[in-house]
Structure formats: C-alpha cells, structure tokens
Amino acid sequence: MAVCIAVIAKENYPLYIRSTPTENELKFHYMVHTSLDVVDEKISAMGKALVDQRELYLGLLYPTEDYKVYGYVTNSKVKFVMVVDSSNTALRDNEIRSMFRKLHNSYTDVMCNPFYNPGDRIQSRAFDNMVMSMMIQVC
Amino acid sequence: MADALLFEFLLTEMVAELWPQDPDPARGGRKMNLSVLEGMGCHVGQALGERLPQEMLAFREELDALKFLCKDLWVAVFQKQMDSLCPSHQWSLSMASGLQYLDEAPKFLAFTCGGPRGTLSTLGIESLVTASVAALCACKFQAVIQKSQGPLGHPQLSLTTASGPHPLQVNSRCFGPETLATAFGGGLRARAGHRMLKKWV
C-alpha cells in the first residue's frame, strides 16, 4: 500500500526511512526531503487558521504523476511522511489516517522504551515490523 | 488504587537505592544521585509528553502546551487539577512528624521535578523545574522557561493546585497515596495489566 514511509525529527533529520526495495530508494528519499517544505508550510498555515481546523493529520501534501505524498505531524513536532502509489486508487483518506494513527502509536511505544534516546535513529524491530506490514504490496 | 501504591513503593526504593548513607564528598556524591533521579523523571516525562497528547489536536502555540501541562498532564499524574497557570503550586505530602523530615523531602521531589521538565522538552519548551518545601504539607514547583532568543530574561511560570493536607499516612517516607499516579510508572515500561497503566505503556 505505502511505497515509502519516513519519520522525521523536529530538527528535520530522518529518524527512520524505509521504502520498498524494488524501486530506486534515492528517488523516495528526495521526495520525502522536498515534502518537508510543504509540511512546514502547512504547519504555519495551520497556526493562522481557526481553532477547529487544528489537526495532526496534514493530508495530501503534493501529488506527482506516479505517487502521492501524505503528511502527519505530532505535538512534539515529529513528522511522518508517507508516499503512496497513485495507481492504487482504492486507498481512501480514512485508511491513510488509520495508517498514520498506527504509526503514531508505534512511535510512542518507541519513545517509551527506556533504552531509546530521543533523537537516535529508530532501530526497534517492532516498529520495523509494523512499517513492513503497511508496505507489503498486493501483487 | 493499587497503582498509586505500586508507584510509591517503586519511588521509595529508587530513592533508597540511589541515596547512599555515606556519600563520598569528594565526588559530590549526593548531587550526582539527585541528578540521576531527575534524569529518570525527565525521561518518563518525555514519554508521557508523547503519549498523552496523542488524541489531542495540534498545539498551536506555547500557551496550548502549557495548558496541556497544567490540565491534562497534572490530572493524569496527580489526579488533581491546577487552578491556574500563575499562582504557586502546592501539593500535599504526609509526614510522620513534620519538621523532622523536612530534609528528607527534596530527594523525593527530584524525580517529580524531572517529569514536567521532560514533558515540556518534548513539546519544544526548554525549562528548569525546581521544587521547594516551605511548610509541612505543602510543596511548590517552579518552572522557569528558557527562551532561546530572550535577552530580556526568563519568564517565570509558577504552577498551582490547591489541596489540603492528606489525612492518611503510612510511614514517614511515603507520600499521600492518591497524589501520585502510575502514569510515571507506566512510562518506565511496567507492563501491569491494570487499565490505567495500560494506557501509558
């Protein structure tokens, strides 16, 4: 479903980035990097918006011809970026939201691990497994 | 409320373990242990700072983060609400015979000072939390927020909750049971089956 998932820290460096191995990974890294600008834009726009519209889920950041990029930001300014295949039209907004929610829960579990120092790369196997389960393609 | 007791025992043991009877004055033994406790509290606070706001909307500004700290975090941890942002925080302790144990109080507070500091740092606010025991059954927390670009000085934030002295008392080293919640204990990855702990783990 998802082609690439990235967790970006507050200071905009990647804590975790994983893409499907069949594709050129560098392309996805670049897409995630460029999407950070859009995320920042959305966050500052949200700051000026009405109270009711404050949300953690940022929605579609930008579409390209093959892929769509979605974003989500937590209260601790950690960003999740997900790149999804455009050809998979069955994927609805709700499903993306639930995927982000799962990501957030797993990330919180990683944070609660006393052996994890905030700011390190995420090396948790449980987190890895959760991300892999979201990325398994339907052949 | 077995959770609160569990956490109290844990805290008591932690302090007992880390507070040596004969500290080595050359190495500043006591201060080092207090900072260990405070660091533990900080880490727990960071974990809480991730988990508690999960269901909430995004914080737009510092004020939202502070409101969260005062209302949700404090209620979750101490089951008491803060009255307002400004006045000073008071929280009841129960002591066997008050004055005698005033010296003992600070080492228990180290962990609890670390908690809000950790949470604030997760939310993006660098701060320094200190506590002082003025009278028998009262304790003041002061959070000084350090603004990175402020040559004008640090705005001081004092947090308050009004609570009377707790009637129940177990022994001289225990806090009043209901005031400490297991939310901190949950941050230490204690996998208890209890519903309250489960929420934070």
Q: Looking at this predicted complex, what is its ipTM? A: 0.74
Residue A81 bridge partners (DSSP): A6, A71
pLDDT given at position A49: 65
Helix or strand run (H / E) with residue B188: none
Query: For the segment A83-138, what is each residue's pLDDT rounded down to a tens digit?
Result: 888 776 667 888 888 888 888 889 988 888 888 888 888 888 899 999 888 887 53
Q: Is A53 on the interface with B (CB under 8 A)?
A: no
For residues B134 and B59, the answer to whether their CB atoms sit within 8 Å is: no
Cα dihedral angle (B190, B124, A47, A74), rounded to 10 degrees?
A: -30
- Six token digits for residue A23: 């594709």
Distance CA A63, CA B168 (A): 62
User: B-contacting residues of A 15-44, CB under 8 Å?
Assistant: none
Q: Can you tell me which residue has the tokens 């705005």?
A: B155
% of chain A at pLDDT higher than 90? 1
Mutating which of B50, B60, B123 best tests the A interface, going by the most A Cβ atoms within 10 A?
B50
Q: Any chain B CB within 8 A of the CB of A56?
A: yes
pLDDT in tens, chain B (201 residues): 566 677 778 877 887 777 765 555 555 556 667 778 888 888 888 888 888 777 776 666 666 777 777 677 766 766 655 544 443 333 333 333 344 556 666 677 777 778 888 888 887 777 777 776 665 455 566 667 766 543 333 344 444 333 333 322 222 222 333 333 333 333 333 333 334 334 443
Q: Do A108 and B58 touch (CB under 8 A)?
A: no
Q: Are B94 and B164 in contact (CB under 8 A)?
A: no
Chain A residues whose CB is inside 8 A of the B47 CB are 108, 111-112
CA–CA distance from B107 to each of B31, B41, B92, B155, B197 (Å)? 10, 12, 16, 26, 25
pLDDT in tens, A2-11: 888 999 988 8
Mean pLDDT confidence for A53-60: 76
Q: How far is B30 from chain A (nearest CA, A)?
A: 24
Q: Are B124 and A105 inside 8 Å of each other by CB? A: no
Picking from A73, A75, A111, the nearest residue to B56 by CB comes out as A75
Q: Provide the chain A residues 57-96 that lie in CB contact (below 8 A) with chain B.
A: 73-77
For B38, the 3-state DSSP assignment is helix
